A and B are shown apart, each in its own frame.
Chain A
Amino acid sequence: MESIVLREIVKEYTPGVPAVDRLDLEIESGEFVVLVGPSGCGKSTLLRLIAGLEQPTSGSVEIAGRDVTGISARERDIAMVFQNYALYPHMTVRANMGYGLKVRGMRKQEVAARVEEVARMLGLEQLLDRRPATLSGGQRQRVAMGRAIARRPQVYLMDEPLSNLDAKLRVSMRAELDRLHQRLGVTTVYVTHDQVEAMTLGQRAAVLRAGVLQQFDTPQTLYARPVNAFVAAFIGSPAMNFAIGALDGGELAFAGFRVPLPEGLRPPVRDQERVLVGLRPDALQDPRFAPADAVRVEVEVAVREELGHETLLFLPVACEAGDAAAIRAVTFEPDQGATSLTPDGRSLFCARVGAGFPAPVGSTATLALSPASLTYFDLSDGSRMESRGTTQVH
């Protein structure tokens, strides 16, 4: 059963400028869905439309089978965790968590019991009589979560609840959120602009750009089979490498490489027609571990980033004038994104290799590139193209 259904939702704050544009979304009951996209793409707006804090310019919102379009946030059975938590500063943690229950007319003892139970669940027992101002960021975040959980609503809405926490706390809160969702099984819509959270938290993630839904699928599918260059560039870290290439005989020429492609792995374009080629950082591999059909390529190593368990290599590759702009036009990356250029006009590819890979800065490294790991996009609209003769490229 669907828990949240959005139909043809349009939201214009300024007439003629849609913040959310004709968006359809069906969220299953009990599902954990992540809304992800760059800043200003309309994630918060979409969440607020579901919450009833904003009303759509057109379209409808359904929660648990009930059309709630035009109904105020009060009467939608939802709870929300705000980015800055929005805890009531003049109330104790206990009162904060119990407020929604009290307002809805629950008896005092029941409220107290429910608050105690949730506090135990989140390890907040010691903090119940404190004011929010006396809590740490992580504690406030848990109280905000507790306030939402105590209500036992149909739907949880969370707007970047972890963004104010430090990296370490974020990782542990992520695990805690996951655990809570497993335990409570309540439909959750979670907004983030962090693609790592999108990959790790959600059962499905909806990728937005400029108010338009790009793709709504499992994180694995978003990663492996992005519908377009924008999703491909946005999902995955480090980001996908892009270059413009063309088929030349049976070979694909791009970024100064020439990769012979078997019939079934060729992009569906004519000879010499320009096509956008994408390859993930792990597509450039240590030759010792590469599949048999992999092609050897020689690349200069400009930067080495040791991450401990692995190493990132940044490799300047040939890039024709104007290519970077043409790539950005379909990936919508900011200037400093993956297609950033070196001072001599080359673009930087990123390769992910083992920690001990012998390639010092300034040397020329030999890496292996497997034809099957290449992804192709239409340069006119950025949509992904399936390779000729295959239905599945992984």
Chain B
Amino acid sequence: MRRARVPWLFVAPALLLYAAFYLAPTLLGAGYAFTDWNGLESPSFVGLDNFSRIFGEAEGLGALRHTLVLCVLYVVAVNVVGLGLAVGLHGALKTRHVLRALFFAPVVVSPLAVAYVWKFILDPEGPLNRGLEAIGLGTLAQPWLGKPATATAAVLVTMVWQFSGWSMVIYLAGLQSIQAELYEAAEIDGAGTWRRFVDITRPLLLPALTINVSLSLIAGLMVFDQVIALTGGGPGTATETIATQVYEQALVNGRFGYSAAMALTLAVAVGTLSFVQMRAMRRQEG
């Protein structure tokens, strides 16, 4: 046997399993995107029909739009909060270790569980409205999950609340990799607090920012659990996202082909956007 083949023997078992249970279904799924399969009858090829429907039907377009809006807001919010927490908890604060653990804690809970807790809090009869009434702000009490704007905000808040600790940890690691002497050198060079942040922290934190943005971008594009648990896509279809549509179209409406097309669209979007974003930011890092 030729030497070059030997390594393949070792990888073969893993490769076979991977091909059978991951690669094949993925490729098959991608294939269904070009058919009208409904899960029962045998599929027939329909070309790009499914895709033109996604970009033509109100449902599909709506899901795309909601996903993009949620994603952009999520990327911004989770990074702003995460960075804020990291900067705040990087310094000499006595309780910083406890606080770091506290802010990271939600990350390890199941997103569904977190979303159900928030659903309870935001219930018309829930603690939030009761609390508002108790402090005399009863006029602000409202059916939070019953209106499109607040329902979207609720999904966003739930996600940010859970995952800003994750982003904080990545930023903290970034901050800790910056030598303390650099700040001292900059101070001696005449830079004040803000200047040091802009000239030292910001550029040296770019790698952490790149990772955080791509992670949150992917999480934002694929948002599913929070929507399903909090709003079920409602009110109406106000919070439907691509991922919830993939699920509903296939398993509720039996439009497997359409759903596969949507999933493929999502996969391509995630791939392209994170690639473009990584490229752009790596260039910045220089």
Comparing A82-90, A118-126, A272-280, the segment that makes contact with chain B is A82-90
**Contacting pair B188 A74 (CB below 8 A):** yes
CA–CA, A74 to B192, complex, Å? Answer: 7
**Contacting pair B204 A53 (CB below 8 A):** no
Q: B286 on the interface (CB 8 Å rule)?
A: yes
**Could you give, for residues 140-181 of chain A, a 1 whenever the CB lies within 8 Å of some chain B CB and a 0 otherwise?**
000000010001000000000000000000000000000000
**Contacting pair A74 B199 (CB below 8 A):** no
Comparing B26-34, B178-186, B212-220, B257-265, the segment that makes contact with chain A is B178-186
Q: B200 on the interface (CB 8 Å rule)?
A: yes
Q: B191 on the interface (CB 8 Å rule)?
A: yes
Given the contacts A99-B186, A99-B199, A86 and B191 also touching, CB distance less than 8 Å: no
Q: A288 on the interface (CB 8 Å rule)?
A: no
Of chain A, the residue at the smallest CB distance from B180 is: A86
CA–CA, A84 to B189, complex, Å? Answer: 17
Q: B195 on the interface (CB 8 Å rule)?
A: yes
The count of residues in chain A whose C-beta lies closer than 8 Å to any C-beta of chain B is 21
**Contacting pair B187 A88 (CB below 8 A):** no
Q: B39 on the interface (CB 8 Å rule)?
A: no
**Contacting pair A100 B190 (CB below 8 A):** yes
Which range holds the interface residue count of chain B? 10 to 19
CA–CA, A99 to B188, complex, Å? Answer: 11
Q: Which of B197-248 contact A (CB under 8 A)?
A: 199-200, 203-204
CA–CA, A147 to B185, complex, Å? Answer: 10
Of chain B, the residue at the smallest CB distance from A99 is: B189
| CB-defined contacts of A151 to chain B, threshold 8 Å | 189
**Contacting pair B190 A72 (CB below 8 A):** no
**Could you give, for residues 69-84 of chain A, a 1 whenever the CB lies within 8 Å of some chain B CB and a 0 otherwise?**
0001110001110101
**Contacting pair B182 A88 (CB below 8 A):** yes
Of chain A, the residue at the smallest CB distance from B200 is: A88
CA–CA, A79 to B187, complex, Å? Answer: 10
CA–CA, A151 to B184, complex, Å? Answer: 16
B181, B189, B200 — which one has the most chain A CB atoms within 10 A of its CB?
B189
CA–CA, A320 to B186, complex, Å? Answer: 56
| CB-defined contacts of A86 to chain B, threshold 8 Å | 179, 181-182, 184-185
The 27 sampled A-B contact pairs (Cβ below 8 Å) are: A51-B188, A53-B187, A53-B188, A73-B184, A73-B188, A74-B187, A74-B191, A74-B192, A82-B185, A84-B181, A86-B181, A86-B184, A86-B185, A88-B185, A88-B199, A89-B182, A89-B204, A90-B204, A90-B286, A99-B186, A99-B191, A99-B199, A103-B186, A103-B190, A103-B191, A103-B199, A151-B189
B-side interface residues toward A, CB under 8 Å? 179, 181-182, 184-192, 195, 199-200, 203-204, 286
Extra inter-chain contacts (9) besides given A79-B188, A99-B186, A99-B189, CB under 8 Å = A53-B184, A53-B187, A72-B187, A80-B188, A82-B185, A89-B204, A90-B204, A100-B190, A104-B190
